[in-house]
Structure 1
C-alpha cells in the first residue's frame, strides 16, 4: 500500500467506522490548520457515504498562543456565544462531530495556569448542553489524529522534521490498523474482543477494584448499577460509533465517594498544550486531599479547582500493558494515544452511559447514585508493567483482574 492509499484508508475508516456516518447526516469537523490536506480527504470520504453537509471549523496554533499571550485578562472568562450555537447545530440536526487532532504538546508551555483554567471553565459552562450530548451519546462523535510538525518533533526529537513526520504517520497507521486494506474488518474483530472483556467484568459485578504498583496503592469503589463498556458506543438514533480512534480500553464509572489511597501517573499528562508529569494524587472518601507534581503542579491544582467534581474521579479504564500502542514503545505526548497504552483514570465527570439508567438522570440524581458530575473530564495514565488489579466481590473476596500489567489468565 502506498502512503496515499494509507491516507485514503484512514479517512474512510474514520468516516465509516469511527463516525459510522449515515446517509443524509450533517457532519461538523473541528481541527487545526496543520491538518488541512488530510481533512480534505475526510470531507471527500464523508460526501462519498452521503453526508448532507460537511462544515469544517479551523483553528490555528499560532493564533491560539497569541490569544493567551496578548489578550486582556477579561477575555479568559469570556467565550463568544456563537461557539455554543455552532455546537448546538450538531445536536439539533442529529449530526456527527469529528475532532482531527494535531496538537502541539508544548503549545501553551509557560502560559499563566490561571488563564488556561479560567478559559476552560468559561468554555465548559457555555457548552454545557453540547458536553451533555457528548457524554450521553446523543450524537455520534469521534476523535482521530494526524501529525503536525511540532508534535512529530516532540515524539522524535532526534530525527529531521521530514523524518519525524513520516515516523509518526507510520506509528499512527500501525496502531489504527492501516496498511493492509482490511482496517474495517480488523476493527470489527477488535471491538468484538473488547466487548467480551466488558461482558466478563459486568458478569462479575465487583464492588471495588484494588490497584497496586510502584507509586500506586488505591482502592476504587464501584457504584451499584455500574456498566463496563468498550470503545464502541451507540447513539440515541441507534448508530454504533467509536469515539476514540484508536481504542484499547474497557471502562466504567467509579464511585464518587468511595476512593481511598494514592495513585501516580505513568505517562505525561498533556493538558491544553502543557505537560503535567511526575504527579501523585492522594484520595480520601473519593476526594483528592493532596497533590504533588514534578512538572506543571500549578496547572494541575488549577484544573482540580475547577469545581467540586474536579477533585474526584469520573472514569476508570483498563488497558493491558501488552497492547499495540504500548508496544509501539514511544510516548505520543497525546492523550488519545497514551491513554490507550495504559490503564487510566479521568478526573471529573462520569459518562452517564456507564450507569444503568444514567442517561435519563439529572445531575442531582447522578450524584445521589454515587456517580460524579463536573465541568471537566480529563484522562491521565497510571498503568505500568508491574501493575496488579484485584476485583473485590460483595462478600469481600478478591479475584485477579490484572497481573504484571496485563489481563489475568482467568479473564483471557
Structure 2
C-alpha cells in the first residue's frame, strides 16, 4: 500500500477526529476509495475503537433517486438511529464518474435534501471528517493524470498542520474583533457584511481534510451588494458558471448564471435560509495551487474567497446572534489574485491575494 495512504489515514484518525478506544466510529466511502477505507479501518483497529465501514455506490444512489417519487421521500429513521449512536463519522469521497447523478432532477435533490436535514443535523453534532481519495474520475475533472492528481491530493493533505494553524491564526485574529467585512474584486464584486459577535474558525483539518481556510458567518440580514463567483461550481453533478448574486437586507433579490441557471434557482428555492449567506471563508492553503472542480480543495486555495448560501455552522455564530438555518450549504468561489482586496473595518488586510502579515503586501499597493 502507498505509504502516503497510511499517513493520510493516521492524520484522519489521530489529528482530525482524535479517535479514542471507546468510540463508535462510522466510516463511509465509495468503492473507489476502498484502499483508504482499509487503511483507516486498520488504524481504528490498532486503537481498539468500535468501527463500521460502509462502502457505497454512486450508481446505486442514482438508481434509487430516479425511482423515487418526490412526494415519497422520508427521513431514514434507521440511519438516524445509527447516527445517534455514532461518536465519530468519517466520510471519504472518490468518483469514477463525477457526473453520475447529473440526470437526477433538481426537484428530486431538493426533496431529498429536506428529508435528510435531521440526519445532517445529527451528524454535525458529532466529531466528523470529510476527505478525498485520489480517484480517476476526480483526476479527470482536474485535467490531470491519476498519478499527478494523487501527488496533488497528498501534498495538500499530508502536511504540517500545526504550522498551517499558526499561519492562519494571523487572519483569525484580524476577523475575530471585526465588525464589517468588504470583498471587492474588479468591477463585478463589491459586497459588505457584518460579522460582529461571530467567532472566526481556524480550519487546520479538524473537519475537512485538507483544511486550509479561516471562516465565519455573516449576520444574515447584513449582507449588501453584488458578487460574481468567477470560478465554476458543481451542484447536483452539474456545472454552474459565473454565478451572480445581488443581496439586499441579506437576501438574494437577483441571481443569474451563464450555465445551468435553473439548478442555481432550485437551490435558492429550497427554503428561506437558502437565499441568505451562511458562511464567509478565506482560502489559505498554498499547496492547493490550481482549480480542480472539487470544492473540498478549491475553497481552501490560496488567493480566493468563498461564500456559502444556506446553513451557517453553529460554532461560527455568537450566542446573541441569529443562526441562518437551511437544508443546503453551497459554497461558491471568487478569485482574489488580481484587482481585488479584502477590507476589515475600512482597513485593507489582503490585496491581490497577499495578506498584510506577509512579505510583499506593500508591493501590491
What's the TM-score, normalizing by structure 2?
0.90
Report if aligned partners of 1:105, 1:270 keep a CA contact under 8 Å in 2: no
Q: Deviations over 1:258-299 (max 9, x none)?
A: 111111113222223222222101100100001101122111
From the superposition, tell whether residues 73 and 372 of structure 1 become closer, same or farther in structure 2 (CA, over 3 Å): closer
Secondary structure of the residue aligned to 1:109 is coil
Cα separation, 1, equivalents of 2:234 and 2:34:
23
Report if aligned partners of 1:254, 1:371 keep a CA contact under 8 Å in 2: no
Cα separation, 1, equivalents of 2:200 and 2:141:
34
Report if aligned partners of 1:276, 1:293 keep a CA contact under 8 Å in 2: yes
Secondary structure of the residue aligned to 2:83 is helix
Secondary structure of the residue aligned to 1:242 is coil
2:79 corresponds to which residue?
83
In the alignment, is residue 381 of structure 1 matched against residue 344 of structure 2? no
Which of 177, 189, 195 is 1:222 aligned to?
195
Report if aligned partners of 1:260, 1:283 keep a CA contact under 8 Å in 2: yes
Secondary structure of the residue aligned to 2:211 is coil
Cα separation, 1, equivalents of 2:274 and 2:131:
26
Cα displacement (A) at 1:41: 0.8
- Aligned residues between the structures: 355
Cα separation, 1, equivalents of 2:92 and 2:48:
20
In the alignment, is residue 141 of structure 1 matched against residue 104 of structure 2? no
Secondary structure of the residue aligned to 2:242 is strand
Q: Deviations over 1:239-263 (max 9, x none)?
A: xx70111111111111100111111
In the alignment, is residue 155 of structure 1 matched against residue 142 of structure 2? yes
Which of 190, 206, 211 is 2:183 aligned to?
211
Which of 323, 330, 333 is 2:286 aligned to?
323
Q: Deviations over 1:105-161 (max 9, x none)?
A: 32222332111111111211x426415xx1xxx42111110022322222226xxxx
1:32 corresponds to which residue?
30
Secondary structure of the residue aligned to 1:281 is strand
Cα separation, 1, equivalents of 2:128 and 2:140:
29
For residues 101-250 of structure 1, what are the structure 2 equivalents within 5 Å?
101-103=93-95, 104-124=97-117, 126-127=118-119, 129-131=121-123, 134=124, 138-156=125-143, 164-177=145-158, 183=159, 186-202=160-176, 205-214=177-186, 215-223=188-196, 225-232=197-204, 242-250=206-214
Give the CA RMSD over aligned residues: 2.1
Report if aligned partners of 2:229, 2:332 keep a CA contact under 8 Å in 1: yes
1:236 corresponds to which residue?
none
1:278 corresponds to which residue?
242
1:19 corresponds to which residue?
17
Report if aligned partners of 2:278, 2:313 keep a CA contact under 8 Å in 1: yes
Task: Kindly indicate whether structure 1 or structure 2 has the higher relative contact order, using CA contacts under 8 Å at least 6 residues apart.
Answer: 1
In the alignment, is residue 96 of structure 1 matched against residue 88 of structure 2? yes
Secondary structure of the residue aligned to 2:139 is helix
Cα separation, 2, equivalents of 1:296 and 1:89:
39
1:363 corresponds to which residue?
none
Cα separation, 2, equivalents of 1:22 and 1:197:
32
Report if aligned partners of 1:256, 1:370 keep a CA contact under 8 Å in 2: yes
Cα separation, 2, equivalents of 1:17 and 1:128:
23
Cα separation, 2, equivalents of 1:65 and 1:410:
46
Q: List alignment gaps of at least 5 residues for structure 1.
A: 158-163, 178-182, 233-240, 358-365, 393-397
Cα separation, 2, equivalents of 1:169 and 1:243:
21
Cα separation, 2, equivalents of 1:6 and 1:255:
41
Cα separation, 2, equivalents of 1:22 and 1:78:
33
